[in-house]
Amino acid sequence: MLHDIAFSLKAVALNVLCLSLWMIPPVYILVYYGMNGYLLGTQFFRMIAGRRASVAEAAALQKKAHHAILLIGVSISFFSTVPLLNLAAPLIGIAAMLHLFQSLRGAPRQEILPPA
């Protein structure tokens, strides 16, 4: 719980610091998606990894795939700004992070349909 409070304070503080960039729209858009993508990606990955791995293993996997986590986080952030798609953004984020986590861990792929 303490970790969640610290994360919330970090997210609010970073967003307040970026308020001055509202006057420069192209820069603000890049900073908004980048910063919130980092925050959302990190939080979603920790949520998935926290249920399936030790803290040390989760930290190692997060360090190994920080670019993919950022990219998925930016996608979640973008989906959250599109009307109607924002309703599915958390589900898309969880599914993407779960697939990323399983691939990083080396889990075997499961086929939905049996081979013909």
Mean of all residue pLDDT scores within the chain: 89
Contact (CB, 8 A) for 94 and 41: no
How far apart are the C-alpha atoms of 96 and 100, rounded to whole Å? 6
Quote the CA–CA distance of 14 and 17 in Å, as a whole number.
5
Which residues span the domain enclosing 95? Answer: 2-105
Report, as an integer, the average pLDDT of 19-45.
Answer: 90
Residue 98 domain-assigned? yes
Question: Residue 32 burial by CB count (10 A; 0-12/13-18/19+): exposed, middle or buried?
Answer: middle
Judge whether 112 lies within some domain. Answer: no
| Tens-place pLDDT, residues 74-111 | 999 999 999 999 999 999 999 999 999 999 988 777 67
For residue 115, tell me if it sits in a domain.
Answer: no
Residue 22 lies in a domain: yes
Which amino acid is located at 95 in the chain? A
Coil vs helix vs strand at 109: coil
pLDDT in tens, 15-24: 898 888 878 8
Q: What is the mean pLDDT of residues 29-44?
A: 92
In the predicted structure, residue 116 carries a pLDDT above the cut 80: no
Section 11-32 average pLDDT? 87
Its pTM stands at: 0.83
In a domain, 83, yes or no: yes
Q: Residue 35: what pLDDT?
A: 93
Question: Does the pLDDT of residue 72 top 70, yes or no?
Answer: yes
Domain count across the chain:
1
Domain-embedded: residue 86: yes
Domain annotation covers residue 47: yes
Query: Would 114 be classed as within a structural domain?
Result: no
